[in-house]
Structure 1
Amino acid sequence: MREVEQETMQERAYTITLSPDEMQAWMTFATDQPLSLDQMLADLEAAGVRVGIDRFFLQDLAEARQPGQRYLVAQGIPPEAGVEYFFPLEQERKPRRLPDGRVDFYNLETIANVIQEQILVAKIPPEQRKPGQTVTGKPIPPDRGEAVLPAAGANVRVSEDGNALIALVNGHPVLSDHVLSVYPTYTLEGDVDFSVGNLTFVGSLVIRGDVKSGFSIKCAQDVTIYGVVDEAEIEAGGSITLHGNVFGKQKGRIKSGGRVKGVFVDSIRIEAQGDICLSQGVRYSHLQTQGKVLVGGRSGHIIGGTVQALEQIVAHDLGSENEVPTRIAISSPFFDATTSRETLAHIAAVLKADQALLDRYGERELSPPVLHQAQEELKSCQAALHSLESYFARRSHLLPRTPLQVGTIVATGTVYPGVTICIGDLSLEISHPLHGVMFYRADGMIKIQKLETTVEESLENWGIGAGIAMEED
């Protein structure tokens, strides 16, 4: 290292040293007192450092630093090699300073993402390679030799012209021993905390530790978490598997494009396209799914909050002895019985008006305004009919799975007062404990069926036995 002697350096508050190749400049401080950024920049200029100065970092050092600690404040620009990588070879996990001066400690961009058919690395023709610069501004000529690509590893192919490597799948790239691979699953061995920040990934994620409060996970495929999930947000295009408990503190949120499978959740919002399966219970949460909610077979409970499913809800206990308000609902988020009746009433009104129009005018030719009105009414009627057709088409997959079509709610243990049972636009307030019952809709009302035989036999007879038991990994 070459030390630059500058007697004017704020009364020797620091020294500046350059690496032998002048590609790095360091500052070592003798005091923790506030310093002038302008004077520090002037001293760097006097020391010959003109390129690659990290001004944001220098501002931080002017305000606070550790005496005796050496800090890298400038880096030269290396000349372009024979190949160019289109992803960061090293993920630098450090907070970023935002344009408004604030520091972002949450988004550290821990994972490099590449997508299918993306160019990962390509050769640069010798005549197009750019020279570099030292921190003192000296030019560094590029290498004009023949470029050599890494070997193509897993999920990577060589381009037709042999000048590039291309990803075959979405995932994260790994360069090891001059072999480049892309893996669709990323595994984090520790916690999601300030050391890694929020995670965003185009493949599947496996988290071996916890997800701490305030952090988020966004994943295009599946997410598996082995630790505890605190007040966090988790979003996956595929399924989410939670091996630990979840404590949302009324701020956490989980959203899945597939199934959610877990143990116990408390005070969190869960939205899923597939089934929600929990082996122990739900407390004070909001669950919504396009499929079924299955809670723990013989021991699972749902206490407080709202649980809403399109197909079925099965649990041991609903509510608690303390009569905690709990809403259990079978309904469609995109259509309900009330909307169906309103749509049919609208169609009937349009048809009646059209008939009255014909009766009034008979065979006479309609005037343009009246004709236009009739045409618009016809379009409205057709749109309403199309809406109904789409609705019934979306619900048709339920018919072979549930004999009652609109879904069922099953409590193999006890349903306590304070629970509200909703099926479509109907609701039923529970005023006294019920034991081993099934709720279903028939004849325009919610009916209750006693589970007279064993739980398994009753569920099988009603066509919903499959899936009540939690799967084991």
Structure 2
Amino acid sequence: MGNLREELQVVNETVVLEISRDRMLGVIEFQEPLNGGKVLSVHDIKKELQKKGIVSGILEDVIAELVKSKKYRYKYIIAKGEQAEDGKDGVLKLNFDKEEIKHLRPKEKEDGTVDFRELSAVRNVKTGDLLATKTMATMGKNGFNVLGQTIKAKKGKEARLPKGKNTHASEDGLSLYASVDGKLEYDGHNVYVNTVYTLNGDLDSGTGNIDFLGNVIITGSVKSGFTIKAVGSVEVKGSVEEATIMAGGDIFLSYGIQGGNKGKLVAGGNIIAKFIQNTTVEAGGDVITEAIMHSNVSAGNMIKVESGKGLIVGGSVSATSLILARNIGSPMGTVTCVQIGVPPSTYEKFKALEKQIAEENSNLRKIEKSIQFLCLKSQASLDPQKQAMLRKLLDAQGPLKETVEALQHEYRELANTLRDVQDGMIKISDTIHPGVKVTIGSTIKYIDDSQVHCTIRRTEGEIVIGS
């Protein structure tokens, strides 16, 4: 009987629990009950898990299924930890091609050929232009293992906004903008906007043309066929050949320009050069040089050629108020034209303004006449179409009046400039030679005999040479 009881001993269902080495998995294996032993319930299984220390990531649905049906001596995953999700790094996005800034590339034409004068040496930006943006790093999400221990996530690394000189960040710190107009530069660490573009060397096929929103300094020479355009001033420390230089400010040429009848200088301010030869020159202010030879030169104020040779010979020079020179013309009678007055373009602008004012006044009178006609009637009696027409006419009247007033103001300023021409003069500290044509305003005089140490003015409609 004793042996029979031992053989029929009741054995309840049991489990063997394991935890993976990284503590991220809990594994359960069921041992079958014997002789009508008790089967574990959901509660029993959870209690066993707790005893083992498995408290997190318990797979409730798996337990529920295992209570209903299971294989014995088979391992089931009963709990899973959750890996930490590290935060994402912030991302910096440059609003320009950094390789394009580093390496000059010729401009491709429509026919597929390239222009090696256009090498995009300068990337211009304007105030307020977006230079770079960044996204914020994220915190990440902590994980846990089956023992309930926290696995800390690593926060993403913040991207650095590459704030350099003449740039500013937005209020939220996510965007970088240009604070000034100028040349965009990037050194791999910071973004800068430089208001001065300095070319250390010659402007030639190795650099290409320059078009810049600030000031330009060339330490070498400017070779034939190339162009500099600058919103600010331009300084060239070497020579200038058959090139074009256009500046919103001043132009400074340490060694002058030999233009070969193709060179051109245009400045909103002054032009100062060692010499000017075979070149077309236009300055909004003064032209100051030691010699003007066979060139067409106009200045919005005065032309001063007193130091060095102090020579004006060949071509034509024109200033609004004053021409100062040591010598004008040559003993050989070289045809040379000097003029006190405004450039022909100014006369053309004056006439064009006159015509435009007349046209705009005519349009204004037509609008006022139509408004007056419609207002004679009660607005209540106007049909919707005429009411719409009246509103349209009234909307147009104000801006047109403002346009006419602005044009009249510009017209009066030009008229004053043209009247001031009468007060201009030409002063020669040495000699003016035969062959020189002098024009002051609309009056012309040809120099037949050499005159020394003299001043030329217009008096009572006649050009007079005095001492």
* TM interval, short-chain normalised: 0.5 to 0.7
Which has the larger displacement, 418-427 or 151-160? 151-160
The CA deviation string for residues 347-394 of structure 1, in whole angstroms up to 9 with x for no partner, is 9xxxxxxxxxxxxxxxxxxxxxxxxxxxxxxxxxx9999887343334
Given the alignment of the two structures, is residue 391 of structure 1 paired with residue 408 of structure 2, yes or no? Answer: no
1:422 is aligned with what amino acid? Answer: T
Listed as ranges, the gaps of 5+ residues in structure 2 are: 1-88, 139-154, 359-404
8 Å contact from structure 2 (residues 259, 278) kept in 1: yes
Matches within 5 A, 1:7-22: none
2:430 is aligned with what amino acid? Answer: G
8 Å contact from structure 1 (residues 298, 316) kept in 2: no
CA distance in 1, matches of 2:248, 2:160: 34
Determine which of 252, 265, 284 is the counterpart of 2:294.
284
Q: Alpha-carbon deviation of 1:173?
A: 2.6
8 Å contact from structure 2 (residues 305, 326) kept in 1: yes
The DSSP-based 3-state class of the residue aligned with 1:391 is: helix
Given the alignment of the two structures, is residue 82 of structure 1 paired with residue 99 of structure 2, yes or no? Answer: no
CA distance in 1, matches of 2:158, 2:265: 47
8 Å contact from structure 1 (residues 298, 315) kept in 2: no
8 Å contact from structure 1 (residues 293, 313) kept in 2: yes
8 Å contact from structure 1 (residues 298, 413) kept in 2: no
Give the match for residue 58 of structure 2: none
8 Å contact from structure 1 (residues 150, 180) kept in 2: no
1:307 is aligned with what amino acid? Answer: V
The DSSP-based 3-state class of the residue aligned with 2:98 is: coil
Given the alignment of the two structures, is residue 162 of structure 1 paired with residue 173 of structure 2, yes or no? Answer: yes
CA distance in 2, matches of 1:298, 1:434: 20
1:446 is aligned with what amino acid? Answer: I
CA distance in 2, matches of 1:177, 1:391: 51
Matches within 5 A, 1:453-472: none
Which has the larger displacement, 153-162 or 85-94? 85-94
The DSSP-based 3-state class of the residue aligned with 1:152 is: coil
The DSSP-based 3-state class of the residue aligned with 1:393 is: helix
8 Å contact from structure 2 (residues 197, 217) kept in 1: yes
Q: Alpha-carbon deviation of 1:298?
A: 6.7
Determine which of 91, 104, 112 is the counterpart of 1:93.
104
Higher helix share: 2
Structure 1's consecutive aligned runs of 4 or more residues displaced over 4 angstroms after TM superposition are 124-127, 144-147, 382-388
With the length of structure 2 as denominator, give the TM-score of the two structures: 0.61
Q: Alpha-carbon deviation of 1:101?
A: 2.6
Give the match for residue 115 of structure 1: 126
CA spacing shift, 1:383–1:120, aligned 2, 3 Å: closer
CA spacing shift, 1:425–1:395, aligned 2, 3 Å: closer
2:312 is aligned with what amino acid? Answer: I
CA distance in 2, matches of 1:227, 1:180: 30
The CA deviation string for residues 391-438 of structure 1, in whole angstroms up to 9 with x for no partner, is 333457x5xxxxx84300111111111100100111111111111111
CA distance in 2, matches of 1:331, 1:425: 8
Determine which of 418, 421, 438 is the counterpart of 2:438.
421
1:288 is aligned with what amino acid? Answer: S
CA spacing shift, 1:178–1:389, aligned 2, 3 Å: closer
Give the match for residue 249 of structure 2: 238
8 Å contact from structure 2 (residues 127, 180) kept in 1: yes
1:270 is aligned with what amino acid? Answer: V
CA distance in 1, matches of 2:179, 2:108: 35
The DSSP-based 3-state class of the residue aligned with 2:105 is: coil
Residue-pair matches, total? 308
8 Å contact from structure 2 (residues 106, 120) kept in 1: no
Q: Alpha-carbon deviation of 1:99?
A: 2.6
8 Å contact from structure 1 (residues 416, 432) kept in 2: yes
Give the match for residue 190 of structure 1: 201
CA distance in 2, matches of 1:212, 1:415: 34
The alignment's C-alpha RMSD in Å is 3.0
The DSSP-based 3-state class of the residue aligned with 1:316 is: strand
Give the match for residue 286 of structure 2: 275
CA distance in 2, matches of 1:299, 1:391: 35
CA distance in 2, matches of 1:160, 1:395: 52
CA distance in 1, matches of 2:312, 2:255: 18
8 Å contact from structure 1 (residues 188, 206) kept in 2: yes
CA distance in 2, matches of 1:421, 1:386: 32
CA distance in 1, matches of 2:122, 2:411: 45
8 Å contact from structure 2 (residues 106, 115) kept in 1: yes
CA distance in 2, matches of 1:114, 1:173: 6
Determine which of 447, 452, 455 is the counterpart of 1:430.
447
Given the alignment of the two structures, is residue 229 of structure 1 paired with residue 229 of structure 2, yes or no? Answer: no
With the length of structure 1 as denominator, give the TM-score of the two structures: 0.60
CA distance in 2, matches of 1:238, 1:391: 21
CA distance in 2, matches of 1:185, 1:86: 21
2:185 is aligned with what amino acid? Answer: V
Matches within 5 A, 1:402-413: 405-413=422-430
8 Å contact from structure 1 (residues 203, 219) kept in 2: yes
Given the alignment of the two structures, is residue 213 of structure 1 paired with residue 230 of structure 2, yes or no? Answer: no
Given the alignment of the two structures, is residue 307 of structure 1 paired with residue 317 of structure 2, yes or no? Answer: yes
CA spacing shift, 1:314–1:189, aligned 2, 3 Å: same
Q: Alpha-carbon deviation of 1:318?
A: 0.3
Given the alignment of the two structures, is residue 202 of structure 1 paired with residue 213 of structure 2, yes or no? Answer: yes
The CA deviation string for residues 241-291 of structure 1, in whole angstroms up to 9 with x for no partner, is 11012110001111001110111111000001010000x201000001111
Identity of aligned residues (%): 32
CA spacing shift, 1:388–1:96, aligned 2, 3 Å: closer
2:412 is aligned with what amino acid? Answer: E
Give the match for residue 400 of structure 2: none
CA spacing shift, 1:165–1:388, aligned 2, 3 Å: closer
8 Å contact from structure 2 (residues 342, 418) kept in 1: no
Which has the larger displacement, 98-107 or 421-430? 98-107
CA distance in 1, matches of 2:422, 2:431: 24
8 Å contact from structure 1 (residues 83, 147) kept in 2: no
Q: Alpha-carbon deviation of 1:442?
A: 0.7
CA distance in 2, matches of 1:85, 1:194: 29
Determine which of 182, 197, 200 is the counterpart of 1:171.
182
CA spacing shift, 1:81–1:285, aligned 2, 3 Å: farther
